[in-house]
Amino acid sequence: MTSTRPLDRFRSSGLLWPLVAIVVLLAANAVVRPSFLALRFQDGHLYGSLIDILKNGAPTMLIALGMCLVIATRGIDLSVGAVVAISGAVTCSSIVGAAEPGSAGAAFVGMGTALALCAVLGLWNGFLVAGLGMQPIIATLVLMTAGRGIAMLITDGQIITVRNPTFRTVGAGFLVLPVSILIAVAVFVLVALVTRRTALGLLIESVGINPEASRLAGLRARTIRWTVYVFAAICAGVAGLMISSNVSAADANNAGLWIEMDAILAVVIGGTSLAGGRYSLTGTLLGALIIQTLTTTVYSMGIDPKITLVFKAVVVIAVCLLQAPKVRAALLGRTRRRHAPPDPEAEPTARQGTQTPTEPLVEKVAQP
């Protein structure tokens, strides 16, 4: 009995099918291209298709982590893609306008300015949602629409290119593994420790389950919701630094385009409900890896890029269906047992022999 408990817990956690999906996708790529799973160590760096998946998926992982906490509080943030564009635009513009564009100081000032602005944008979203009580999808849609316009104003509608080794390290540097992977893993570990080893995770779930009850219980529900929006914006800002530094340029039109949809899909695939409450950071990480592995699979298998979104949608729907309780019960051969109505003929028989001692007394008193 005890040996099956960990397996049952793993199945009920919702991580089984996302993990199966990743294994199936990797196996399919390995069949089409046998060298897909190969890794090589060269000049102190680790290379390979698996490393490319992790590197290219690092921005989505970061944004999905912030999105996971926002969704856990019954919210949504559609503005993260625009924040990505603003982050890259501010950083590159600051570096180009510095006295020494190639210096490390110019890179740090530009990145610090960009992250500070992203935090302000997160405060704005939190103010609209928690302060004014606007619907999250409407409040963040405002910045989603205006954010790219702001990025276009910053870059003057041009693609700004930079040559700064320090800045390029964020998205294209290596410390055995790509720096972007290390940053994403560090943020994941930090968030997991803060939310699972302290009461913050429980407070976030409480706000998501019932904000009014949490407020009446003494929790600062508004502060918690405000905080998760700021965190999501900072994660989007760091992702914007990765994307722009990887190509050493800021493209306000295309940077982070539709990445908010990938982040939401990653959270949902990971088993977090859009209704708020309980969430899964590990599941969100697996969901982001599925999204990136799908993109890599499309190119490695020679699938027409025109149907990439359709291909991704089919796989995502399949994974979500496999997570549905009814579908899982059908696949595992389990059927729900409905309680049968009580048999009226068997009821008197069942009552015989269970007569309480008070019943004879009642009969005697009732006699004339």
Say yes or no to pLDDT of 231 above 70. Answer: yes
Number of domains in the chain: 1
Q: Average pLDDT of the chain?
A: 86
**Mean pLDDT, range 314-332, rounded to an integer:** 75
3-state secondary structure 80-128: HHHHHHHHHHHHHHHHHCCCCCCCHHHHHHHHHHHHHHHHHHHHHHHHH
Cα dihedral 290, 143, 181, 95 sign = positive
Closest by alpha carbon to 180, among 310, 53, 8, 23? Answer: 53
Residue 116 within a domain: yes
Residue 310 within a domain: no
Strands (E) in the chain, as ranges, are: 39-42, 45-48, 160-161, 174-175, 177-178, 249-250
**Mean pLDDT, range 141-149, rounded to an integer:** 94
Say yes or no to pLDDT of 345 above 60. Answer: no
> pLDDT by residue (tens digit) across 164-201?
999 999 999 999 999 999 999 999 999 999 999 999 99
Residue 163 within a domain: yes
The single-letter DSSP state of residue 34 is G
pLDDT at position 4: 53
Least confident segment among 115-119, 165-169, 216-220 = 216-220
Say yes or no to pLDDT of 230 above 60. Answer: yes
> pLDDT by residue (tens digit) across 58-87?
999 999 999 999 999 999 999 999 999 999
pLDDT at position 354: 46
Residue 82 within a domain: yes
pLDDT at position 12: 62
Question: What is the identity of the amino acid at 343?
Answer: D
Please compute Rg for the chain using Cα positions. Answer: 27
Say yes or no to pLDDT of 284 above 90. Answer: yes
**Mean pLDDT, range 322-332, rounded to an integer:** 73
pLDDT at position 8: 64
Least confident segment among 13-17, 153-157, 214-218, 349-353 = 349-353
Say yes or no to pLDDT of 327 above 70. Answer: yes
Say yes or no to pLDDT of 349 above 80. Answer: no
Report the DSSP beta bridge partners of residue 234.
none
What does residue 297 show for φ and ψ, rounded to 5 degrees?
-65, -40
Kindly compute the dihedral angle of the four CA atoms of residues 61, 298, 313, 67, in this order, to the nearest 10 degrees.
10
Alpha carbon distance 260, 79 (integer Å): 7
pLDDT at position 14: 72
**Mean pLDDT, range 49-55, rounded to an integer:** 94
| 248: three-class secondary structure by DSSP | coil
> pLDDT by residue (tens digit) across 242-263?
999 999 999 999 999 989 999 9
* Band of pLDDT at residue 365, cut at 50, 70 and 90: very low
Q: Report pTM.
A: 0.84
What does residue 88 show for φ and ψ, rounded to 5 degrees?
-65, -40
Least confident segment among 168-172, 316-320, 326-330, 337-341 = 337-341
Q: Is-contact 237 243, C-beta < 8 A?
A: no
Least confident segment among 36-40, 329-333, 340-344 = 340-344
pLDDT at position 7: 61
Percent of the chain's residues with pLDDT above 90: 64
Expressed in angstroms, the distance from the first to the final Cα of the chain is 62
Q: Which of 123-132, 217-226, 270-279, 313-322 has the highest mean pLDDT?
A: 123-132
Range of the domain at 142: 59-285
**Mean pLDDT, range 295-306, rounded to an integer:** 79
Residue 159 within a domain: yes
pLDDT at position 279: 93
246 or 327, which is more confident: 246
